[in-house]
């Protein structure tokens, strides 16, 4: 397989409510920033463009088409879209490069969840015959998963609170784009009331509006552009059944399989950015990936500090890539997810050039 370079990444602030900003206004600033980083002027300077979004979030049909306006109407470009997090747009573009159909690609993801009720909207990801008609929301399923782990003795509420405290503190120290940050301890957080038992509000990722963008290319193109880069050494994604009752919710089997296929264990992991929308899920993912305490997990604060649906998965990859480009790490792992209780998982292994 061809090594693929990440040469540019930008993200917006995670906002609880972007107000009157439309898709184009969310996307254009991050596009301008990645064009500047890569030393190009527009989407016409890359071979392929792919975006990730979901119209259900803002309840507007073909919102992803409106987002394309940020690229400019002419001249025409080769463009695609995934109704998923933009991490899966990266996967599509990576495949294009592997097949020799492109040497460079622009990726972007955006989401505006504030106009609707996101936990209810996400119920439409469920099995359409048995579960979706019940409108079981994402928080209820996550609470069931957390209760399973607590009752089995695998975790404690203190373990969950420690994940959140580390997220808030890391975001305060390292992430100017974060929505939630602060100097808090697990003891402080445990004083909060239960929200959906056994979850407290801080155990759940916030609802955020925003966007991110990335440019990838072949190693040869990166050298031609003269830009520093991080290398995608492995990438894989897997999915588990949408029948919740048929899964062991205390494990993420699809993450384990994807991690093996992507080569996570082929070397030390300096940093990992894990898409864990709920505190206990970070513990599941750390175990599934085989990470130990030598790996710095979610130095950005992760999605517990800010969760732009359809963009935060790509942001996990971008966060790791930029740390490698800045020389803060030599090898890292990024994780993206979709669906209830970590149903679908994508793993990317990144290394220094």
pLDDT in tens, 155-176: 999 999 999 999 999 999 999 9
pLDDT digits (tens, 9 = 90+) for 176-215: 999 999 999 999 999 999 999 999 999 999 999 999 999 9
Averaged over 299-309, what is the pLDDT? 97
Q: What's the pTM?
A: 0.96
Name the token pair of 294: 């030598």
Q: How far apart (Å, rounded) are the C-alpha atoms in residues 50 and 305?
A: 26
344 conformational bin, left if phi > 0, alpha if psi -120 to 50, beta if neither:
beta
pLDDT for 305 equals: 98
Q: Are 314 and 214 in contact (CB under 8 A)?
A: yes
Q: Are 214 and 27 in contact (CB under 8 A)?
A: no
DSSP state at residue 204: B
Return all residues near 174 (Cβ < 8 A) that are at least 6 apart: 299, 300, 301
pLDDT for 71 equals: 87
Helices (H), 39-137: 63-68, 86-98, 118-121
pLDDT band at 116 (very low <50, low <70, confident <90, very high): confident
**φ, ψ for residue 248, nearest 5 deg:** -85, 100
Return all residues near 140 (Cβ < 8 A) that are at least 6 apart: 119, 196
pLDDT of 224 higher than 80: yes
Averaged over 257-265, what is the pLDDT? 98
Q: Are 346 and 235 in contact (CB under 8 A)?
A: yes
Name the token pair of 92: 């599509």
pLDDT for 58 equals: 76
Mean of per-residue pLDDT scores for the chain: 95
Please give the sequence-ordered ranges of beta strands (E in DSSP) within 79-221, or none if there are none. 79-82, 104-112, 194-196, 199-200, 209-218
Averaged over 332-336, what is the pLDDT? 98
Which secondary structure element, helix H or strand E, spans residue 26, and what is its range? Answer: helix 23-38
Q: How far apart (Å, rounded) are the C-alpha atoms in residues 202 and 199?
A: 8
**φ, ψ for residue 49, nearest 5 deg:** -130, 135
Averaged over 246-252, what is the pLDDT? 95
Q: Are 57 and 25 in contact (CB under 8 A)?
A: no
pLDDT for 69 equals: 84
What single string gives the DSSP state of each residue in 211-245? EEEEEEEEHHHHHHHT---EEEEEEEEEE--S-GG
pLDDT for 335 equals: 98
pLDDT digits (tens, 9 = 90+) for 40-96: 999 999 999 999 999 888 777 777 788 888 888 678 889 999 999 999 999 999 999
pLDDT for 218 equals: 97
pLDDT for 1 equals: 81
pLDDT for 64 equals: 78
């Amino acid at each position: 397989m061809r090594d693929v370079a990440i040469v540019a990444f930008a993200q917006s602030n995670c906002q609880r409510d972007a107000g009157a900003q439309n898709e184009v206004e969310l996307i254009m600033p991050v596009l301008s920033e990645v064009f500047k980083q890569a030393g190009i002027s527009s989407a016409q300077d890359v071979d392929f463009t792919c975006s990730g979004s979901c119209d259900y979030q803002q309840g507007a049909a073909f919102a992803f088409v409106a987002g394309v306006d940020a690229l400019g109407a002419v001249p025409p470009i080769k463009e695609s879209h995934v109704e998923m997090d933009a991490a899966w747009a990266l996967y599509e573009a990576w495949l294009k490069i592997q097949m020799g159909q492109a040497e460079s690609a622009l990726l972007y993801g955006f989401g505006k969840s504030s106009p609707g009720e996101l936990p209810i909207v996400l119920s439409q990801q469920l099995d359409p015959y048995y579960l979706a008609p019940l409108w079981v929301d994402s928080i209820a399923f996550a609470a069931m998963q957390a209760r399973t782990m607590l009752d089995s003795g695998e975790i404690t509420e203190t373990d969950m609170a420690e994940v959140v405290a580390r997220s808030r503190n890391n975001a305060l120290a390292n992430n100017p784009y974060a929505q939630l940050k602060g100097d808090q301890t697990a003891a402080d957080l445990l004083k909060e009331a239960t929200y959906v038992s056994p979850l407290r509000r801080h155990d759940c990722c916030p609802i955020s509006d925003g966007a991110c963008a990335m440019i990838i290319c072949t190693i040869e193109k990166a050298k031609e552009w003269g830009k520093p880069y991080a290398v995608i050494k492995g990438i894989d994604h897997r999915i588990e059944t949408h029948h919740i009752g048929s899964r062991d919710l205390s494990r993420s089997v699809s993450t384990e399989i994807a991690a093996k296929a992507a080569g996570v264990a082929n070397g030390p992991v300096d940093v990992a950015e894990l898409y864990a929308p709920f505190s206990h899920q970070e513990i599941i993912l750390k175990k599934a990936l085989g990470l130990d305490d030598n790996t710095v997990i979610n130095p950005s604060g992760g999605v517990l500090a800010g969760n732009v649906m359809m963009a935060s998965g790509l942001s996990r990859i971008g966060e790791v890539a930029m740390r490698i480009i800045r020389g803060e790490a030599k090898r890292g792992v990024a994780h993206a997810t979709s669906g209830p209780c970590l149903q679908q998982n994508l793993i990317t292994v990144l290394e220094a050039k």
